A and B are shown apart, each in its own frame.
Chain A
Amino acid sequence: MSNSTVTQPAQPQKTLLSGLTRRFRQDFQTYTMIVALVAIWGYFAVATEGSYVSPQNISNLFRQMSVTSLMAAGMVLVIVTGNIDLSVGRLAGYVSVIVAYLQANTWTTVFPDQPALAAISSVIVGLSVGTLWGIAQGYIIAYLRVPAFIVTLGSLFILQGLVLLQTEGKTIPANQPVFSEIGQGYLPAELSWGLVAVIAAFLVFNMLNGRRNKRRYGFPLPALTVDVLKIAAYTVLLVVYVGVVNSYSIAPGIPYPVLLLALIAVVVTYVSNNTRFGRYAYAIGGNRDAARLSGISIKRNIFLIFVLMGFLCGVAGVVLASYVGYGTIGAGGGYELDVIASAILGGTSTLGGVGTIPGAMIGGLIMASLSTGLQMLNAPPALTYVIKGSVLVFAVLLDVYLKRNDS
């Protein structure tokens, strides 16, 4: 039962294999989700006689997950701090109808025939509306101490009303040139390959840099082969993905929203692990009292998380308007369910303190994979809901069961 001091290496009885098993159990949910994802793809590939894994569908699949997954990245942090945001879908919807309205009515009179300027203005307004809404919600939740569940539930109602007001029950077109590129455009095939090369080079640089720093501090270094294999694995995944989407003959290249999602996911992951703001979020969710007594301003942190959430809803709203090409009364309705489900499938604990953005991205991909696949099989929409709900509960059930057996 005696432990060595931290200076000494881990207990000798622990073999490499048992270490790996333990590691595997810890990250079990993430691995299960990846296995589940492969299984889902496999099933649909067979059921659709291969068209599920065609370049066209793969290209669309990732683009389809982008709107909800953009918001899921923020939702992870919201849930990690022990809060919830029920208004995200409708906020994105509201942003999308405002942007559509501006595109269809305002910009054409303010600066006619300037599609690029119009698109930029739309983006600025869209992000601002989302952020301002986040500021208002965050203020009420963090500083006026109204529970997030209630504030965002109220928000959901209000936004639903605002969407109706804005659209007057009509569908507003948002399919103007340049603006449409945001949700429907593609990074040209050559540039897509270029991007892969840049990312691979960055990973190598980052690895070498990290190893140099570790050596300077005298930390033990992981074997070089392990690091190299890791980079190789990531690069292969990227190459496969780009290879597939580039071979989609009608529209080759990485869809812009996927690129945007990847960028946001990387940035939010970095923020959550490597900034004080992110670290504090996990500490607050893990033990609010200990965080407070460690000099962390809980109010400020929670406020900022809702601001970030609002901003991401703004991004999602702009992409949504551009992607579907119009603003409607139904915009964003029910998306909050997919967003929350993605975060939870990805291992975010509703008790707070635990959750990762990459996990939520896999969760989002599973959700999108199920929707797309069932659609291709011409399954009734009702069945999609039933299956998504069952998968969510079953995944968490499996996790709870396995963790119980482990301890």
Chain B
Amino acid sequence: MSEDTILEFRNVTKEFPGVTALSDVSFKVKRGEIHGLCGENGAGKSTLMKILAGVYPYGTYSGTVLYNGKELKLQNSAIQAAVREGIAIVYQELTLVPAMTVAENIFLGREPVERGSIDWDRLHSETRSILEKYRLDVRPQDVVRNLGIGQMQMTEIAKALSEDAQVLILDEPTSALSEVEIDRLMEILQTLKARGVTCIYITHKMNEFFRITDQLTVLRDGKVVSSQPTAELTPEKVVGLMVGREMKERFPRGARQPGDVILEVQDLHAEWAGREVLKGVSFALRKGEILGIAGLMGSGRTELVMTLFGEFANVTSGAVKLDGKPVQIKGSQAAMRHGLGLVPEDRKRFGLVLPQSIVRNISLANLGQFGGSLAVDEDSELAASTRMAQDLAVKAPSVQVAVGSLSGGNQQKVVMAKWLLSNPQILIMDDPTRGIDVGAKYEIYKLMNALAERGIGIIMISSELEEVLGMSDRVMVMWQGRSQGTLDTREATQERIMTLATGLA
């Protein structure tokens, strides 16, 4: 092994009952580089990282992992052993304690102790110096519960960095971050690289690989299909390697003719917990149109759609008109009666009952359709849910398996199936492709196009500018609870959207 290789996988194979998650994986990570790891969901990225982090200890896989030239043997409290070795991981799912402060979270489990009691002053001052060193926009005494999801992610990264990591693994760190926060993360990673920290970077956002990584390893079905300098690749090539075929276009485009206005929002103001969250939002949605909503985290995008769905803030002034008639929607039941459907952000938290089956999740919002007023006819429920799951090509061993066991893309399809079964006129989709692999994203885009062609008006919130531009007919941009303007996608550019989204115009 040469001097500058920090980590080497040699023929690593990991099997689960009935499934080979990793098969003969071999590649090298150089010291101090930012090493991208990409592949569709289920390609084995997370499994590989869990071996490094000690979640799957030494002996539960075959093959060798060389770390600083020695075989890595993480055993007996393997997760703590990984931390001691200097391997830190930031998971996609946040692992913070909401009721604790940023400082308490960062030092959770290794609080500085002075004569048997916690040395709070040292804890806070050390936290402050970490946060300042990496220019993280949170304060040590902030309670995590009150932070935005982006700030939580920053805290998570600070926690990993505070443990003097030699290797930092970032598993989709940007999926919840705004563009500004992503920029800052990229700066942080450059700083770390300059200090000699090695990063393994996992994301579903192609542009980030090309922006930040030095080397890129592509996994497909548990095998390494390529490991080469990023400079030798193009986004199209990488997508092709990931899915095993050339992907000509990332955003399918159907010919569609938006019709009459079905939803009109005029100067909407709304308040929640004594704070004005919407300060003047106006837009219109037409039949068969995809309207994108762009904006940074905290711009009020999610607050807007949740308020439209009657589940968040109280409307204080302004109007919401459906088919020209003013309506007041109080609660999700009323929203459904008015023909609205909502594919919420964070499907695991808001969209699915994870331990229940695909059938039960799809039928949940629509049980009134099956049988009489009281009893549920299970046969017609099963038939309708199965038909929906087939229409949307949900991949699963059976419709009776728990949705918790499905991949992100398939889970999102189940949420969509639930709402399509309720036959909505307007479908609101809040960041529908977050954390979903390229192939599944493409399928969801095609579905959205098909729905729009059927005359359904779609409102799509997206954190990815390329996606907003690629999918929508028009884009409404929000900033600080206001609608800043609506652009026709044909004349919109990423720069124009960002100008509006940052309040510059």
Interface residues of A (CB under 8 A from B): 1-7, 10-11, 13-14, 213-214, 216-217, 219, 270, 273-276, 279-280, 282-283, 286-287, 289-297, 353-354
The interface-forming segment of B63-71, B268-276, B344-352, B468-476 is B344-352
Q: Mind listing 27 A-B residue pairs with CB under 8 Å?
A: A1-B42, A2-B42, A2-B395, A6-B394, A6-B396, A214-B379, A219-B379, A270-B375, A273-B378, A274-B376, A276-B367, A279-B360, A279-B364, A280-B367, A283-B360, A286-B353, A287-B353, A290-B352, A291-B353, A293-B344, A293-B350, A293-B351, A294-B418, A295-B332, A295-B336, A296-B333, A354-B355
B367 pairs with A1, CB closer than 8 A: no
A274 pairs with B378, CB closer than 8 A: yes
Q: Say if the beta carbon of B108 comes within 8 Å of chain A.
A: no
Q: Say if the beta carbon of B389 comes within 8 Å of chain A.
A: yes
Q: In the complex, which of the residues A275, A295, A296 contacts B374, with contact meaning CB atoms closer than 8 Å?
A: A275
A114 to B406, CA, bound (A): 64
B354 pairs with A6, CB closer than 8 A: no
Interface residues on chain B, number (Cβ under 8 Å): 50
> Which of B358, B367, B382, B386 is packed against the most chain A CB atoms within 10 Å?
B367
A353 pairs with B353, CB closer than 8 A: yes
Residues of the B chain whose Cβ atoms lie less than 8 Å from the Cβ of A294: 332, 364-365, 418
Q: In the complex, which of the residues B42, B342, B360, B374 contacts A293, with contact meaning CB atoms closer than 8 Å?
A: B342
Residues of the B chain whose Cβ atoms lie less than 8 Å from the Cβ of A295: 331-333, 335-336, 365
The chain B residue with its CB closest to the CB of A286 is B353
The chain B residue with its CB closest to the CB of A3 is B395
The chain A residue with its CB closest to the CB of B422 is A295
Residues of the B chain whose Cβ atoms lie less than 8 Å from the Cβ of A1: 19-21, 42, 44, 221-222
Q: In the complex, which of the residues A4, A213, A214, A280 contacts B395, with contact meaning CB atoms closer than 8 Å?
A: A4
Residues of the A chain whose Cβ atoms lie less than 8 Å from the Cβ of B350: 289-290, 293
Residues of the B chain whose Cβ atoms lie less than 8 Å from the Cβ of A290: 349-353, 364
A288 to B376, CA, bound (A): 21
Q: In the complex, which of the residues A4, A10, A11, A219 contacts B382, with contact meaning CB atoms closer than 8 Å?
A: A219
A2 to B437, CA, bound (A): 14
The chain A residue with its CB closest to the CB of B415 is A290
Residues of the B chain whose Cβ atoms lie less than 8 Å from the Cβ of A354: 355
Residues of the B chain whose Cβ atoms lie less than 8 Å from the Cβ of A289: 349-350
Residues of the B chain whose Cβ atoms lie less than 8 Å from the Cβ of A3: 395-397
A217 to B384, CA, bound (A): 10
A60: shortest Cβ distance to chain B, in Å? 36
Residues of the B chain whose Cβ atoms lie less than 8 Å from the Cβ of A216: 379
Residues of the B chain whose Cβ atoms lie less than 8 Å from the Cβ of A7: 390
A274 pairs with B375, CB closer than 8 A: yes
A351: shortest Cβ distance to chain B, in Å? 10
A282 to B356, CA, bound (A): 9
Q: Say if the beta carbon of B324 comes within 8 Å of chain A.
A: no
B384: shortest Cβ distance to chain A, in Å? 10
Residues of the A chain whose Cβ atoms lie less than 8 Å from the Cβ of B396: 3, 5-6
Q: Say if the beta carbon of B180 comes within 8 Å of chain A.
A: no
A217 pairs with B311, CB closer than 8 A: no
Question: Would A279 and B394 be within 8 Å (CB), given that A11-B18, A292-B311 are in contact?
Answer: no
Q: In the complex, which of the residues B354, B355, B368, B398 contacts A276, with contact meaning CB atoms closer than 8 Å?
A: B368
A295 to B367, CA, bound (A): 11
For residues 270 through 306 of chain B, which have their beta carbon under 8 Å from a beta carbon of chain A? none
The chain A residue with its CB closest to the CB of B335 is A295
A273 to B349, CA, bound (A): 24
The chain A residue with its CB closest to the CB of B370 is A276
The chain A residue with its CB closest to the CB of B346 is A289
A297 to B364, CA, bound (A): 12
The chain B residue with its CB closest to the CB of A11 is B397
Residues of the A chain whose Cβ atoms lie less than 8 Å from the Cβ of B333: 295-297
A5 pairs with B394, CB closer than 8 A: yes
Q: In the complex, which of the residues A11, A283, A292 contacts B356, with contact meaning CB atoms closer than 8 Å?
A: A283
B12: shortest Cβ distance to chain A, in Å? 16
A6 pairs with B358, CB closer than 8 A: yes
Question: Would A291 and B379 be within 8 Å (CB), given that A1-B20, A6-B398 are in contact?
Answer: no
Q: Say if the beta carbon of B383 comes within 8 Å of chain A.
A: yes
For residues 296 through 351 of chain B, which have their beta carbon under 8 Å from a beta carbon of chain A? 309, 311, 331-333, 335-336, 342, 344, 349-351
Residues of the A chain whose Cβ atoms lie less than 8 Å from the Cβ of B380: 217
A217 to B354, CA, bound (A): 27
Residues of the B chain whose Cβ atoms lie less than 8 Å from the Cβ of A11: 18, 397
A211 to B145, CA, bound (A): 52
Residues of the A chain whose Cβ atoms lie less than 8 Å from the Cβ of B399: 6
Residues of the A chain whose Cβ atoms lie less than 8 Å from the Cβ of B398: 6, 10
Residues of the B chain whose Cβ atoms lie less than 8 Å from the Cβ of A13: 18
The 3 A-B residue pairs with the shortest CB-CB distance in the complex, in nearest-first order: A286-B353, A294-B365, A295-B333
Residues of the B chain whose Cβ atoms lie less than 8 Å from the Cβ of A293: 309, 311, 332, 342, 344, 350-351
For residues 9 through 37 of chain B, which have their beta carbon under 8 Å from a beta carbon of chain A? 18-21
A297 to B378, CA, bound (A): 22
Q: Say if the beta carbon of B206 comes within 8 Å of chain A.
A: no
B126: shortest Cβ distance to chain A, in Å? 36
B341: shortest Cβ distance to chain A, in Å? 10
Q: Beta-carbon contacts of B113-135 to A below 8 Å, as 1s and 0s?
A: 00000000000000000000000
Given A5-B395, A290-B352, A296-B332, 19 more contacts at CB 8 Å?
A: A1-B20, A3-B397, A4-B397, A6-B390, A10-B398, A216-B379, A219-B383, A274-B375, A274-B378, A283-B364, A286-B355, A289-B349, A293-B344, A293-B350, A294-B332, A295-B335, A296-B365, A297-B331, A353-B355
A68 to B379, CA, bound (A): 34
Residues of the A chain whose Cβ atoms lie less than 8 Å from the Cβ of B382: 217, 219
B19: shortest Cβ distance to chain A, in Å? 5
B159: shortest Cβ distance to chain A, in Å? 26
Residues of the B chain whose Cβ atoms lie less than 8 Å from the Cβ of A2: 42, 221, 395
Residues of the A chain whose Cβ atoms lie less than 8 Å from the Cβ of B344: 293
Q: Say if the beta carbon of B393 comes within 8 Å of chain A.
A: yes
Residues of the B chain whose Cβ atoms lie less than 8 Å from the Cβ of A213: 379
B478: shortest Cβ distance to chain A, in Å? 21
Residues of the A chain whose Cβ atoms lie less than 8 Å from the Cβ of B342: 293
> Which of A1, A213, A217, A291 is packed against the most chain B CB atoms within 10 Å?
A1
Residues of the B chain whose Cβ atoms lie less than 8 Å from the Cβ of A279: 360, 364, 367, 376
The chain A residue with its CB closest to the CB of B368 is A276
A18: shortest Cβ distance to chain B, in Å? 8
B354 pairs with A286, CB closer than 8 A: yes
B349 pairs with A6, CB closer than 8 A: no
The chain A residue with its CB closest to the CB of B347 is A290
B397: shortest Cβ distance to chain A, in Å? 5
Residues of the B chain whose Cβ atoms lie less than 8 Å from the Cβ of A297: 331, 333
